[in-house]
């Protein structure tokens, strides 16, 4: 077994060797610019781009014409939310999203607020799920768009996208879904879902970094204002030379996701449950987020009476995440966990374990043993743990100022 | 089916060394640079090393380099990003700019900016008198490309920047086609922002950069997550960044090695084209040594392109981005070229793998095809 063990598949995944093999010809002899119309190098690249578009559409049961290539889910989220808000600004200026969304959605909403839009940030229930009645109540006559992520990147909970979509369609609100964490984990059927815009990323699903897509519904047709202008690529919705090798990689990654999702989810659930069973033997551990409506490869756990930083340092053999990768360089406690009503301390001592295609049982067993050991040692050093063991309720302690 | 690639301004093949450098970052070193564990830290280190290499090739500081998804995004970010930090006034660009500059410039009208497109002369050079005229009005931003993608004409960006700075404007240059073909020095150009792209310099597609003067305020155009010092959100495309870095590192030495040889091939191409009655655009002014843009009066470009492809040569008509359309090249029209002649324009852009034999064969094929097309024309005339 090789150390460190990678248990951070929601931050990014390695490119599947089968995906890499498909990409390589487009990094070598098939290097043409897909926009070159006057020679075979260009036609060959264009053909590969369209084939991959079909593969991506197929995973989510959409039409290939509804798929727009972008540089990743962050750009897709920006294009969807800003593009729709700007295009439909004559209809209204109100948007709805959720406090536990990814920064790419939240920061985009903040930017729109600076431009004069109004945004409602719904607080989810303590299990991380959005309450449908509260969501419905937030819709105003001037609401133009709602954005809710399919699967949360930190706690892995799956929102009720079918129901939220029905509510939005009924009220004439455009519905955007960030599905960066959902592909290959949740069955997505855009023929059935009342979703108008959906963001995808390749590198969370064993494809390459630097490529993503936005689904833009054609029936009923959703219009967007392009955010990047130039040669008019992607039917004017997103200009810029298409990175053929990355697109081919995303296509193949999504093809594999479709083919292997059922078996893979089964395996991930087995590994996750094994990890959870092992960690439950430690006292005072809490799962963050709903356990039923949750992707099978995610376990987010708070370890009480352990200081977060020391814990991360103590389990260096495990590549895991505390808070989301995008913000984990900062020492701010996770805003997602805080939105669930957690204290700063508990949020700080939370770890996200995400397993994937290349995780083994042996690795999970190693992780369990390591955590049991280290948490035991850290708690031995903790006066708070000692007090807790002595039966003192720490919430009632009057701390002296210093 | 074309086998000889004469379209290096559209895109270049990836350098083998660049591919080798990228591969580990697709698989075993696949971490997200924002992750704090070892996988993340090694990815972060690779990104920062690449940033240094990009900075070195253009004589900038690494902290001035912002990675984006390519030249188009670089142009959009530079223009929209700088404009968003300025009070609306006049925006000036040249009539031979790439659409990824011209479109964002024009769109600024909606934010209250006054658009002013400066003319180019018959050789495609920025009209300095027209520029001086335009700068009499309060001007916030000027954008002029360093080397044109179609004609290869090199602009005197330093002179433009000097006038523009004197008038209090910020200056952006699109250096996507210039990098790797001429020396590009950020400081001596005197611009505030510059766009670069990976796939035009034997690096990968899907990566580019904006080099920006730190005194300039830039408003991000893609929000979320605070990457690239808050100027461009999104998980870094590590393999492409690594590839772009190495392509930049190799660009100067390879350019110095190859420029004379490629220049000689281009001269030979143009001698052949001229002998066959072709008109070469921008031939009186400094151009990229690899680029030749020409037309034969009376000959349809599309027909000739198809014949060349059948004979095995991949060349372009106008720029790749808009070559789906049959409109004559906007760049040539701006230079005062008649629409009928512009419609027949063919661009040959040579690269490292091209040889003298290929050029000789190309001229021979051109001769045969022209004779055939001209005989068909004369038959039709009778």
CA distances from B32 to A201, A327, A333, B151 (A): 14, 12, 20, 40
| Chain B residues touching A201 at Cβ < 8 A | 235
pLDDT number for residue A349: 87
Nearest CA distance, A174 vs chain B (angstrom): 20
- Per residue in A265-320, pLDDT tens? 999 999 999 999 999 999 999 999 999 999 999 999 999 998 877 888 899 999 99
Give the C-alpha distances (Å, rounded to integers) separating A40 from A32, B62, B308, B320: 8, 38, 11, 13
Chain A residues within 8 A of B329 when measuring between CB atoms? none
What is the C-alpha separation between B40 and B19, in angstroms, rounded?
21
Smallest CA–CA distance from B38 into chain A, residue: A319
> Quick one: tokens of B309?
């492809």
Taking the CA of residue A299 and the nearest CA in chain B, the distance in Å comes to: 17
* pLDDT band with cut points at 50, 70 and 90 for residue B164: very high
The per-residue pLDDT for range B293-333, each reduced to its tens digit, is 999 999 988 888 889 999 999 999 865 454 455 688 999 99
Please give the pLDDT value at position A308: 78
pLDDT beyond 90 at B173: yes
- pLDDT value at position A286? 93
Residues of B in contact with A336 (CB under 8 A): none
- Determine the Cα–Cα distance for residues B323 and A93; give it in Å rounded to an integer: 39
Nearest to A230 among B37, B103, B205 (CB): B103
Output the six-digit token pair for B46: 């690779």
| CB contact residues (below 8 A), chain B span 8-47, against chain A | 10-14, 19, 22-23, 26-28, 30-32, 34-40
What angle (nearest 5°) sits at the alpha carbon of residue B20, between those of residues B18 and B23? Answer: 110
Q: What is the mean pLDDT of residues B160-177?
A: 98
**Is B60 a residue whose pLDDT tops 50?**
yes
What average pLDDT score do residues B181-202 get?
Answer: 98
CB-nearest partner of A31 from B11, B227, B233? B11
Low-confidence residues of chain A: pLDDT under 70: 323-331, 399, 401-402
**Looking at the complex, does the CB of residue A209 fall below 8 Å from at least one CB of chain B?**
yes
CB burial readout A134-152, b (16+ within 10 A) else e: ebeebbeeebbbbbbbbbb
Sign of the Cα torsion A318, A319, A320, A321 reads positive
Quote the pLDDT of residue B319: 52
A347 cis-preceded (ω within 30 degrees of 0)? no
For B333-371, what is each residue's pLDDT tens digit? 999 999 989 989 999 999 999 999 999 999 999 999 999
Which residue, A268, A103, A251, is CA-closest to A186? A268
Active-site annotation holds for B321: yes
Mean of the pLDDT values across residues B137-142? 98
User: Average of pLDDT values for B255-282?
Assistant: 97
- Nearest chain B CA: its distance from A353 CA (Å): 13
Residue in A23, A36, A245 closest to B316 by CB:
A36
Kindly report the length of chain B.
Answer: 382
pLDDT for the residue A328? 47
Report d(CA B382, CA B379) in Å as an integer: 5
For residue B169, the 8-state DSSP code is: -
Q: What are the C-alpha distances in Å from B295 to residues A113, A340, B221? A: 52, 67, 40
Q: Could you list the active site residues of A?
A: 326
Does residue A116 sit at the B interface (CB-CB below 8 Å)?
no
Q: Residue B376's pLDDT is what?
A: 82
Question: What is the reported pLDDT for B382?
Answer: 54
Q: What is the rounded CA–CA span in Å between residue A137 and residue B169?
A: 49
Say yes or no: A112 contacts chain B, CB-CB below 8 A: no
DSSP per position, A173-198: -EEEEE-TTTTTTS---TTTS--SEE
Mutate which: A44, A240, A246, vs B, most B CBs within 10 A: A240
Residues B218-230, mean pLDDT to the nearest whole number:
90
* Residue B237 reports pLDDT greater than 90: yes
């Amino acid at each position: 077994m090789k150390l460190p063990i990678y248990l951070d598949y929601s931050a990014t995944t390695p490119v599947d060797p089968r995906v890499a093999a498909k990409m390589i010809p487009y990094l070598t002899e098939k290097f043409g610019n897909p926009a070159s119309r006057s020679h075979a190098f260009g036609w060959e690249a264009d053909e590969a781009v369209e084939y991959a578009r079909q593969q991506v559409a197929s995973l989510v049961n959409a039409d290939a014409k509804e798929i727009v290539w972008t540089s990743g889910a962050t750009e897709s989220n920006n294009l969807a939310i800003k593009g729709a808000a700007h295009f439909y600004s004559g209809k209204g200026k109100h948007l709805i999203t959720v406090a536990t969304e990814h920064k790419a959605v939240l920061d985009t909403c903040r930017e729109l607020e600076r431009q004069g839009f109004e945004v409602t940030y719904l607080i989810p229930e303590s299990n991380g799920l959005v309450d449908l009645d509260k969501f419905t109540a937030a819709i105003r006559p001037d609401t133009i768009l709602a954005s809710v992520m399919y699967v949360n990147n930190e706690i892995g909970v799956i929102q009720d996208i079918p129901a939220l979509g029905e509510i939005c369609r009924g009220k004439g609100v455009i519905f955007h879904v960030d599905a960066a964490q959902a592909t290959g984990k949740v069955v997505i059927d855009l023929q059935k879902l009342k979703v108008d815009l959906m963001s995808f990323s390749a590198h969370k699903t064993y494809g390459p970094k630097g490529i993503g897509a936005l689904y833009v519904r054609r029936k009923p047709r959703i219009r967007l204002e392009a955010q990047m202008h130039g040669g008019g690529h992607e039917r004017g919705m997103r200009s810029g030379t298409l990175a053929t090798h990355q697109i081919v990689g995303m296509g193949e990654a999504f093809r594999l996701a479709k083919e292997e999702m059922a078996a893979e989810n089964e395996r991930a659930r087995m590994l996750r449950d094994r990890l959870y069973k092992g960690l439950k033997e430690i006292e005072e551990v809490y799962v963050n987020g709903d356990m039923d409506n949750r992707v099978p490869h995610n376990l987010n756990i708070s370890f009480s009476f352990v200081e977060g930083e020391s814990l991360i340092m103590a389990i260096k053999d495990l590549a895991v995440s505390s808070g989301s990768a995008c913000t984990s360089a900062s020492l701010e406690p996770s805003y997602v966990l805080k939105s669930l009503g957690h204290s700063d301390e508990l949020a700080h001592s939370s770890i996200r374990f995400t397993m994937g295609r290349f995780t083994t049982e042996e690795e999970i067993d190693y992780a369990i043993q390591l955590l049991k050991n280290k948490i035991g040692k850290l708690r031995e050093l903790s006066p708070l743990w000692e007090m807790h063991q002595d039966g003192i309720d720490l919430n009632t302690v009057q701390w002296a100022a210093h | 089916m074309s086998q000889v690639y004469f379209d290096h301004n559209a895109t270049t093949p990836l350098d083998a060394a660049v591919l080798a450098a990228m591969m580990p970052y697709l698989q075993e070193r696949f971490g997200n640079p924002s992750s704090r564990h070892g996988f993340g830290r090694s990815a972060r280190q690779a990104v920062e090393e690449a940033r240094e290499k990009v900075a070195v090739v253009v004589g900038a500081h690494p902290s001035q380099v912002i990675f984006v998804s390519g030249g188009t995004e670089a142009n959009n970010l530079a223009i929209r990003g700088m404009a968003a930090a300025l009070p609306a006034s006049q925006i000036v660009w040249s009539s031979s700019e790439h659409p990824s500059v011209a479109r964002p410039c024009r769109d600024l009208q909606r934010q209250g900016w006054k658009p002013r497109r400066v003319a180019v002369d018959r050789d495609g050079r920025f009209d300095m008198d027209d520029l001086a005229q335009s700068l009499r009005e309060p001007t916030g931003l000027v954008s002029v490309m360093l080397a044109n993608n179609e004609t290869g004409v090199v602009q005197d960006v330093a002179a433009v920047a000097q006038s523009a700075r004197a008038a209090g404007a910020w200056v952006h240059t699109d250096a996507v086609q210039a990098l790797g073909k001429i020396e590009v020095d950020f400081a001596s150009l005197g611009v505030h922002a510059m766009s670069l792209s990976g796939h035009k310099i034997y690096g990968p597609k899907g990566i580019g950069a904006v080099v920006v003067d730190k005194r300039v305020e830039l408003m991000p155009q893609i929000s979320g997550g605070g990457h690239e010092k808050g100027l461009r959100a999104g998980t870094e495309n590590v393999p492409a960044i690594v590839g772009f870095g190495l392509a930049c590192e190799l660009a100067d030495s390879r350019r110095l090695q190859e420029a004379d040889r490629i220049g000689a091939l281009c001269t030979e191409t143009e001698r052949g084209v001229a002998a066959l009655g072709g008109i070469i655009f921008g031939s009186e002014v400094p151009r990229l040594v690899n680029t030749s843009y020409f037309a034969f009066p009376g000959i349809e470009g599309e027909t000739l392109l198809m014949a060349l492809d059948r004979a095995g040569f991949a060349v372009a008509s106008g720029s790749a981005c808009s070559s789906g359309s049959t409109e004559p090249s906007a760049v040539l029209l701006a230079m005062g070229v008649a629409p009928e002649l512009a419609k027949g324009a063919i661009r040959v852009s040579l690269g490292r793998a091209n040889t003298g034999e290929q050029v000789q064969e190309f001229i021979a094929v051109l001769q045969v095809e022209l004779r055939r097309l001209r005989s068909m024309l004369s038959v039709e005339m009778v």
